[in-house]
Amino acid sequence: MTVPSGGDLFSWHVLDPAGRRVGPGGAGADPRRAMEELARALVRERPGSRGAVWAVRLVQGRQGTYDYGGLVAQGFHDPESGEVTVESPEPPRSIVLRP
């Protein structure tokens, strides 16, 4: 997977339909696994929720603080179909979970 520069890790998070951060989030070294974790988290949240995976680096001297690089993938929990889709633009890659 081609990764935007700026990241040794991949951080993911979920936002509810109102844009508030909800549910679990995380970080890891594998971009594909981060996309899968985002998809699983979106399934557990309300339809209309969305999320993202970012390339990140730990900020030296500031424990638990990330410097965000490029966007790796975006996810959405469709309110009409209940389907969860997480897509990465480069290279084109998708994860789809159906209800």
- What is the predicted pLDDT for the residue at 92? 67
Answer yes or no: is 38 within a domain: yes
* Distance in angstroms (rounded) separating the CA atoms of residues 6 and 64: 17
Answer yes or no: is 2 within a domain: no
Answer yes or no: is 1 within a domain: no
- What is the predicted pLDDT for the residue at 2? 47
pTM reported for the whole predicted model:
0.83
Average pLDDT over residues 13-24: 92
Answer yes or no: is 65 within a domain: yes
Q: Which structural domain range is residue 58 located in? A: 9-97
- For residue 77, give Cα distances in angstroms to 31, 56, 66, 72, 80: 20, 24, 26, 18, 9
Residues counted in the chain? 99
Query: 8 near 57, Cβ under 8 Å?
Result: yes
Average pLDDT over residues 10-24: 93
- What is the predicted pLDDT for the residue at 65? 79
**30-87: per-residue pLDDT in tens?**
999 999 999 999 999 999 999 999 999 888 776 667 888 889 999 999 999 999 999 9
Query: Residue 7: is its pLDDT beyond 60?
Result: no
Answer yes or no: is 50 within a domain: yes
Considering its fold, how many domains does the chain have in total? 1
Answer yes or no: is 3 within a domain: no
Cβ atoms < 10 Å from Cβ of 41: 23
Answer yes or no: is 33 within a domain: yes
